[in-house]
Amino acid sequence: MKSMMSDNNAFSRRSFLTGAATLGAVAAATGLAGCAPTTMAETGGDAKAEDDGQAEAAVEHNPVETVECDVVVCGSGTGGMCAAVRAAELGGAVVMLEKKNAVGGTSNFAESMTGVGTKMQKELGVEIDVKEMFDAVFNYHHSAAVGPVLHSFIDNSGATVDWLVDNGCHFLTVMTFFGRFYTCHLSGDASTGTSMLNGEAVIQPMLAHAEELGVDIRLETPMTDLATEGDKVVGVYATNAKGEEILVKARGVILATGGYANNSELFEEFTLRSYDRLRVAGMDGRDGDGIIAARALGASLHHPETLNPSGECVIDSGSWNDNLNQIFSWQQNLRVNEEGERFWNEGNNQEFAAHVNALYTQNASYSIIDADLLNTLATETVFYSMPMYDVNIGSPLAGCMEAIDEGLSQGLIVKADTIEELAEKLELDPAALKATVDRYNAMCENGEDEDYGKAADYLFPVKTAPFYAAATQPIIYATNGGIKVNKNLQVMAGTHTIEGLYAIGNDAGAIYGADYDVQLMPGSCQAWAATGGRMAAEHILG
């Protein structure tokens, strides 16, 4: 089966810079050349680029327009939006550049935000022991988070949520994953009890505020390069909706372009994993532009391989949360690899990083279900809740059998009357799969998973025909690591900062040394973006 992501864009530093060079050439040819600062690569600041022969890609810039402001923000997700609003609140003249024709990016799809010490937590009687939480998170990240930055983030996250609420954003309640820390502010309308995605709960109210405050929002205007004077970043080059190059000069440049999830080259370089095996949820356009631009100036990276893993998806299926995926990807069904062997505790699928890592250690993965379990899902209950999408433990999966019929007709799943026939349809060794299923069924009968310790509640045997199976792939929501920043969100280059340059959200690395810590700080990605945006703006204008 073909990977969903095989058509993803590759966007290397070379093509990034070459693209800008082409624009410069067009502008010059039409007589629109202007006087502009140079890039660091031109000033010889990028030793690495020279070493590997990329310095030849140095760009001559010829902007048709120069805009002067206090803060230029590149990207309009939660990070960029919060940075722009806070900078404007502080009286700064702000330009916010957005690559796409709408604001919000992948932040539109999020549904929560971590916060510690918020008014909502106080009202609900939630108390968090910050030291205990810091220790737990720091340990989870193998002590590879940057301590002062993680501390500063946790300490400021509550004020960020309160500030968002003061700006009209909507949070429903505070929840936890795995019962540890009640820090996850679920987005939604508290008056009606309805959940919301962050597009409605956070981005739209903040957009209204940005417009009121006079933020100059430029859609379809991607940042293409950083402008420098000496060692200082003094602005950015961008391509406007007409395809012309512009220069935005500013006291502070904030990179908030959302990481590199859609850039296969960077993904494979940073994670050493195959991009073909992967599916990426969320908005496209996260091509690593911020990371590439900062790296060209010699910026340090911090654990760029860390991801926001989500789970699993049927290969070639529609949305990651559609009914077919509710059946094959989100339940605790038997999983086998290309050898027809089990490889993990399928009941651990709430631990997103564990789920994705377990799949990624296999060359292929298959989810198998029998007629009995399917019938339970269709008529009684699911075993994994997604309230946002109306899927709740205690209720059957509406449209379950229709999804199976559709999956079969589209060739996304297979059906068989025996395990051997199922194996043949999956191109697995029939004897190996039969042995795995027999052993698994015996453990289900005994109520004890001796191999991987799956809870007895999820030990559903695979014994009643017809049997169904789907080939699956790991799925991520975003990349988490990136440009190394200090607690002011200033970009680091070795031991010093690059003056004038900030990175936030999925462009910025510091608080993650391992993948998304959903068990401890659910919603930390959105909170890191929002808190970073607020604090970077305050540092520039403070």
Ligand X SMILES: Cc1cc2nc3c(=O)[nH]c(=O)nc-3n(C[C@H](O)[C@H](O)[C@H](O)COP(=O)(O)OP(=O)(O)OC[C@H]3O[C@@H](n4cnc5c(N)ncnc54)[C@H](O)[C@@H]3O)c2cc1C
Contacting positions for ligand X (CB under 6 A): 74-80, 97-100, 105-107, 109-112, 222-223, 256-258, 281-282, 285-286, 289, 308, 477-478, 505-506, 523-526, 529
Q: Least separation, in Å, of the C-beta of 43 and ligand X?
A: 22
Instruction: Evaluate the CA torsion angle 385, 388, 389, 390 in order and state its sign.
Output: positive
* AA letter at 319: S
Q: Least separation, in Å, of the C-beta of 262 and ligand X?
A: 9
Q: What is the secondary structure of 333-398 as a DSSP string?
A: -EEEETTS---S-GGGTTSHHHHHHHHHTSS-EEEEEEHHHHHHHHHT-BSS-BGGGTB-BTS--T
Q: Least separation, in Å, of the C-beta of 223 and ligand X?
A: 4
168 within 8 A of 155, measured Cβ to Cβ: no
Q: Least separation, in Å, of the C-beta of 410 and ligand X?
A: 22
- When the beta carbons of 357 and 375 are compared against ligand X, the nearer one is 357
Report the alpha-carbon distance of residue 28 to residue 382 in Å, rounded. Answer: 62
Q: Least separation, in Å, of the C-beta of 146 and ligand X?
A: 18
Q: Least separation, in Å, of the C-beta of 225 and ligand X?
A: 10
- 453: which 2 tokens? 């310790």
Report the alpha-carbon distance of residue 410 to residue 135 in Å, rounded. Answer: 48
- When the beta carbons of 459 and 536 are compared against ligand X, the nearer one is 536
Report the alpha-carbon distance of residue 236 to residue 299 in Å, rounded. Answer: 16
- When the beta carbons of 263 and 367 are compared against ligand X, the nearer one is 263
- When the beta carbons of 368 and 529 are compared against ligand X, the nearer one is 529
Q: Least separation, in Å, of the C-beta of 460 and ligand X?
A: 27
Report the alpha-carbon distance of residue 349 to residue 363 in Å, rounded. Answer: 19
- When the beta carbons of 107 and 160 are compared against ligand X, the nearer one is 107
Q: Rounded to 5 degrees, what are φ and ψ at 203?
A: -65, -50
H or E element: which one contains 518? none
> Nearest to residue 273, comparing CAs of 1, 3, 483?
3
Q: Least separation, in Å, of the C-beta of 416 and ligand X?
A: 33
- When the beta carbons of 18 and 375 are compared against ligand X, the nearer one is 18
- When the beta carbons of 109 and 343 are compared against ligand X, the nearer one is 109
- When the beta carbons of 350 and 375 are compared against ligand X, the nearer one is 350
Q: Least separation, in Å, of the C-beta of 398 and ligand X?
A: 21
Report the alpha-carbon distance of residue 80 to residue 72 in Å, rounded. Answer: 10
- Write the CB contacts of 35 (distance below 8 Å, at least 6 apart in sequence): none
Q: Least separation, in Å, of the C-beta of 308 and ligand X?
A: 5
- When the beta carbons of 221 and 337 are compared against ligand X, the nearer one is 221
- Write the CB contacts of 125 (distance below 8 Å, at least 6 apart in sequence): none
How many CB atoms are closer than 10 A to CB 149? 22
| Omega cis (within 30) before 466 | yes
- When the beta carbons of 46 and 507 are compared against ligand X, the nearer one is 507
- When the beta carbons of 181 and 477 are compared against ligand X, the nearer one is 477
> Nearest to residue 24, comparing CAs of 63, 57, 58, 54?
63
- Write the CB contacts of 86 (distance below 8 Å, at least 6 apart in sequence): 163, 533, 534, 537, 538
Q: Least separation, in Å, of the C-beta of 524 and ligand X?
A: 6
H or E element: which one contains 320? none
Report the alpha-carbon distance of residue 29 to residue 522 in Å, rounded. Answer: 52
